[in-house]
Amino acid sequence: MASQGQVIFWSLTMVIIVLAAVIALIIGFGVSGKRSISVTALTSPGNIGQSGLLGCTFEPDIRMGSIAIRWAKAGVAGLVHEFRGGKDHLQEQDVEFQGRTAVFAEQVMGGNASLELRDVKLSDAGTYRCSVTTSRGSGVAELQYQTGAFSTPNVQVENSSSGDTLQCEAPRWFPRPTVHWTAYSHTGKCLPRAANTSYELNAENITLKVVSLLHNITANATYTCVIENSIAKATGDIKVTDFSITRGTNLQLVNLNAESASSSLPACHWMLLLPACLLSL
């Protein structure tokens, strides 16, 4: 009786060992029968009309001939881009992407499968899949691509009869952003503000020109115009020094719009910190 129990015990053990081996094979070699490699995708929103980057990296492989990169988009029949054996293969490329895509061929061996997408369109938004095969195996990563329009604002003192007004203007935004101002006196006191923001449709019928006017500004204060939508946040700063003597015509302005501003104010300098701004949204 004891020996029969032992037989059952060893049979069960064998079954468990075989199952574990099968599971290990599936995990290690993938369903396709090849080993899997790690592939990672990352991107930032595309700006309509400009070039965008859909980032994708994989474990490097020095055998260029064995590397195949395929980019596909959910809901699109053809491929976005295909690169293998050191060359583009665009026979299966969807017409939507013709003439607008490229991989960085000289960086592929280093594990860079990123795709450059030129003349970004609003309709380019969606789910993209980066599939990479090398001599070590294959892997896939997905990313969500967002599109819209964003631009840095220019802040200046308006030439108007009423004077004492700041104008913040940014040429291209989409979706329609919100605009708000922050104002701090040189002593750090938060000042009251009353802004008037208007949006004007640009000629291509998608993006908006944003103009915001801030009235009743005071001397020795720093003003920040903050423009923000679901994909980007941009700020423009201006420091107004004493103009009570000069009454508007000879204003001394320290325009902190440029790169030098990024360290002096808690504002996000979008060119450098766009990803950080996006994370904080």
Which of residues 107, 135, 144, 160 is near ligand NAG by CB under 6 A?
A: 107
Which of residues 109, 219, 253, 265 is near ligand NAG by CB under 6 A?
A: 219
Residue 224 token pair: 């920040």
| Rounded distance between C-alpha atoms, residue 199 and residue 171, angstroms | 10
What φ, ψ does residue 146 adopt, rounded to 5°? -110, 145
List binders of ligand NAG among 236-275 (CB under 6 A): 242, 244
Which of residues 36, 78, 102, 112 is near ligand NAG by CB under 6 A?
A: 112
Looking at the DSSP bridge assignments, the partners of residue 169 are: 154, 211
Helix (H, G, I), strand (E, B) or coil at 171: strand
Residue 13 CB, nearest distance to ligand NAG (Å)?
47
- What would the x/- binding string for ligand NAG be over residues 7 to 46, using CB under 6 A? ----------------------------------------
CA atoms within 13 A on the CB side of 246: 11
| Rounded distance between C-alpha atoms, residue 54 and residue 56, angstroms | 7
The number of residues that bind ligand NAG (CB under 6 A) is 18
Range list of β-strands (E), 67-214: 68-73, 81-84, 87-88, 101-103, 115-117, 126-134, 137-145, 147-148, 154-157, 166-173, 178-185, 195-201, 208-214
Residue 29 CB, nearest distance to ligand NAG (Å)?
26
List binders of ligand NAG among 141-170 (CB under 6 A): 156, 159
Residue 199 CB, nearest distance to ligand NAG (Å)?
13
Is the Cβ–Cβ distance between 120 and 48 less than 8 Å?
yes
Residue 70 CB, nearest distance to ligand NAG (Å)?
17
Which of residues 3, 205, 250, 280 is near ligand NAG by CB under 6 A?
A: 205
Q: List residues near ligand NAG by CB under 6 A.
A: 55, 57, 104, 107, 112, 114, 156, 159, 194, 196, 204-205, 215-216, 219-220, 242, 244
